[in-house]
Chain A
Amino acid sequence: MFLKKIAIATAVSLMGTTAMAAACPDAGRVSIVGNEFPAIQTIGAGASACTGGSVEVSTNLTADHQTINLPGMISSPAEYTSAIIANSSIVALMNDDVIRPLGDLVAAHGADLKPNQLITINGEVMAVAFMANAQHLVYRADVLAEAGVEVPSTYEEMLAAAEKIRSMGLMDNPVGGAYAAGWNLAQEFNNMYLGHGGEFFAAGSAEPTINNEQGVATLEMMKSLSAYMNPDFLTHDSNATNAEYRAGNVALMNMWGSRAATMTDADGVSDAVKDGFAIAGPMTVAGGDTPASTLWWDGFTVAKNISDEDAEATFMAMVKAIEPAILDDDEIAKQAVWLIDGYEPTEAAVGVFAAANSGTIPYPMLPYMGLMHSALGAELADFMQGKETAEQALADVEAAYITAAKEKGFLN
């Protein structure tokens, strides 16, 4: 299992042998801000269970967490003592220096944590991860069998399979893709670009390096795939793409692992779709070894601008909320690909595990990656509509990124 391997590889002996079960704090203020999906709701509820006596726990789990977590942690004392974030969004908190190193707290109260849950930046533990996510292949086993094609392991095979399915008249638009202009489209570019072995930035600096052969090849592949998608693909986010799959219009797509467990649960999904539902690891592209996908983790941080007592209380409550015992509940075990000790991967988790085991690159934790992501999201739509050449689109992305990076002080 990949987690164990990494655990051994990066083991830092932070923990003594005296393992003790996680406990609620005795006193202090805990206030959590985070996204609102079920796994995070579980954690919010777990931390809230520590309320009592002089412990005060409140949660604010909302889709807008990214907009309010920074202002809510900059103030002193911080409104939020903990923010639940992902590898893309921890950067905003790091950039403004509002989260504290957790080394001491981990040593004192982190007996339940596995070393690979600790996110260390420059040698200091800045966050504790509790779940993983990645995009990977979701397909229709029945349709592929009917078309007589193997489960694709590369995007080239996916194109061939799509052509076969279309020419046999099984489906008009067999490929699904969350290609909605903006964040989704940029994320698909990231996946494919990393799969081509591309580098976003020159080493050690914020200079963009995407206008190159790999960038062009990436865009060409995306264009080829879009030919097999619904013509409205530039408006399809992952919700819309899932809906296409559920309706039985799509046989192959790159989709978030966090959604696999509930993919066919919705009311009214036909039996053909339910029975044909299958997942596999992410695909590679252009003969490369690196899968065209990115790895993600979700974890918690502790605010800097709060008293040490509150920080300790927060850390203890959060560790309590992710204690291994929560996995005894089957419903909770299914909610995510947990990084918690004792997690047994469910069937829906095989895609994410395959992604991690096959050397998928984590989404870059760089201060300026968010700017690149926005620039890609805004400038690639013209190319996808055939209004621009790939080179022109990539030049636009770089120009937009450089403008933003200069303004934020990452480039001169």
Chain B
Amino acid sequence: MKHRTFFWFFAPTALAMLIFIAAPIVSVVLQSFFTPHEAVLIEVENCGPFGCQIETTIDQDATAAIRGEKPLGRFVGGSIYLDRGHLATTEVAAAWRGSDSMGAFFDELGDLPFYRAIGFTLVYTFTVTPLLIILGFAIAVGVNSLHKRLKGLAIFFSLLPFIVTPLVGSLIMFWMIDSRGILGSALQWMADDPTLSLKASTSLTWIMLIVYGVWHSAPFAFVVFYAGLQTVPQDTLESAQIDGASRWQQIRYVVLPHLMPLVTFVALIQLMDNFRVFEPIFGFSAQAHATSLSWIIFSDLNGETRQLSAAATTSVLTIIGVAILLMPVLVRTWRDFRGGAH
């Protein structure tokens, strides 16, 4: 395709992304290098319905003057990236020197918010993504073999985990797995342990979040694979059958290679989405046991005093994390791209 033609085809979508994604990313990166100016604090008397107190407040005039000179704030270089809320280099070094075994070192790391979040995020990403791809593929093959009339119904019900609003979906799931809810009671009965509570134990909470993640996202993989299955070349399949290929061999050597670009696509999207896991942690009130980078951003932005620079820094770290995570898939895409270009 000519450059010119390409440009006109691509311009509308590029424009939308530049304005609404690229520009904010630039401002976020900038923000992660600047912090608000040092506040000039003064003690004043404040009064209200419950009497008067001496309290500290910001001297607005003095602060406004400093702000006027440098509206972006203080340039702090990479120091937010290295502080305790993020990469925590000083604390990590101290932990390394201070702990006598790897176990103790990792315990110390787990006490730092960033590493605690990364720990859960990675476990979540690398269990949920493969499981949901396998499950989604199995469902797609299964549904595809159903009778025509049943397919619509099966598709609808398979989509339900994906379309019931996660906000309330997780509220209801959260209720069902309560030690007195239907699933919680069932588990207690199966484990024969009346004190079993999924919500009070860290490891059970992790398992619960992972199961929820697979359940919630498998329909996505299912729909993509299902649509892909419709385009499997029939004559190749038929000639494979004539050659006496078994059902498994047909899937292995005809269907899977055909779906490979879609598998890559689903893996790419899901690795990224799972790395940014947030909704289940929020919905299941699981933050005592599991946090993620997105959760840290949320809590920085939602406090009564919003921490914009901290949130910006964690966002940049998330993007870098995603880039590292996707490297193998990207290399693969590059090879496909070079291979398919001619």
Contacts and interface: CB of A to CB of B under 8 A. Distances in A.
Direct contact of A and B (CB under 8 A): yes
Interface of A: 3, 6, 9-10, 66-67, 70, 87-89, 91-92, 94-95, 97, 116-123, 129, 132, 180-182, 201, 203-206, 231-232, 234-235, 237, 295, 297, 339, 356, 360, 362, 364-371, 373-374, 377-378, 381-382, 384-385, 388, 396, 399-400, 402-404, 406-410, 412
B36 A409 contact: yes
Q: Chain A: interface secondary structure?
A: mixed
A385 B116 CA distance: 16
A367 B111 contact: no
B231 to A, nearest CB: 43
A400 B53 contact: no
A297 to B, nearest CB: 5
Contacts of A295: 49-50
B318 interface: no
Interface stretch (B80-88, B185-193, B270-278): B80-88
B57 interface: yes
Nearest to B196: A231
Nearest to B40: A409
Given A116-B49, A120-B46, A409-B37, 18 more contacts: A6-B50, A88-B304, A118-B48, A180-B285, A181-B288, A204-B56, A295-B49, A362-B48, A362-B51, A365-B53, A368-B305, A374-B299, A374-B303, A378-B287, A381-B288, A382-B111, A400-B84, A408-B39
Contact of A366 (B56, B60, B288, B303): B56
B127 interface: no
A123 B284 CA distance: 45
Nearest to B84: A403
Chain B: interface size category: 35 or more
A373 B303 contact: yes
Select the residue from B35, B36, B49 with max chain A CB neighbours within 10 A.
B49
A69 to B, nearest CB: 11
Contacts of A70: 306
B49 A407 contact: no
A382 to B, nearest CB: 7
A12 to B, nearest CB: 8
Interface string B126-138: 0000000000000
Contacts of A97: 60, 63-64
Contacts of B45: 120, 122-123
A129 B56 contact: no
B47 A118 contact: yes
Nearest to A360: B50
Contacts, number: 189
Given A231-B200, A409-B36, A10 B51 contact: yes
28 contacts: A67-B302, A87-B48, A92-B304, A116-B49, A118-B47, A119-B47, A120-B46, A121-B44, A122-B42, A204-B56, A205-B41, A205-B56, A232-B178, A232-B179, A237-B285, A297-B49, A365-B48, A366-B56, A369-B304, A371-B307, A378-B287, A381-B288, A382-B111, A385-B202, A400-B113, A402-B84, A406-B83, A407-B35
Contacts of B287: 181-182, 378, 381
Contacts of A408: 35-36, 39, 305, 307
A94 B55 CA distance: 13
Contacts of B285: 180-182, 234-235, 237
B304 A400 contact: no
Nearest to B73: A409
Contact of B49 (A132, A205, A381): A132
B310 interface: yes
A400 B45 CA distance: 29
A6 B47 CA distance: 10
A400 B232 CA distance: 55
A136 B111 CA distance: 33
A409 to B, nearest CB: 4
A123 B46 CA distance: 7
B302 A10 contact: no
Contacts of A129: 48-49
Contacts of B301: 67
B100 interface: no
B198 to A, nearest CB: 9
Given A367-B58, A378-B299, A408-B35, A204 B85 contact: no
Nearest to B202: A385
A244 B199 CA distance: 16
Given A295-B50, A412-B38, A367 B83 contact: no
A356 B46 CA distance: 17
Contacts of A370: 303-305
A88 to B, nearest CB: 5
Given A206-B56, A232-B179, A404 B307 contact: yes
Contact of A409 (B39, B113, B178, B199): B39
A406 B309 CA distance: 11
A308 B245 CA distance: 83
Contacts of A356: 49-50
B50 A122 contact: no
Contact of A384 (B35, B197, B288, B303): B288
B168 interface: no
B306 A92 contact: yes
A373 B304 CA distance: 9
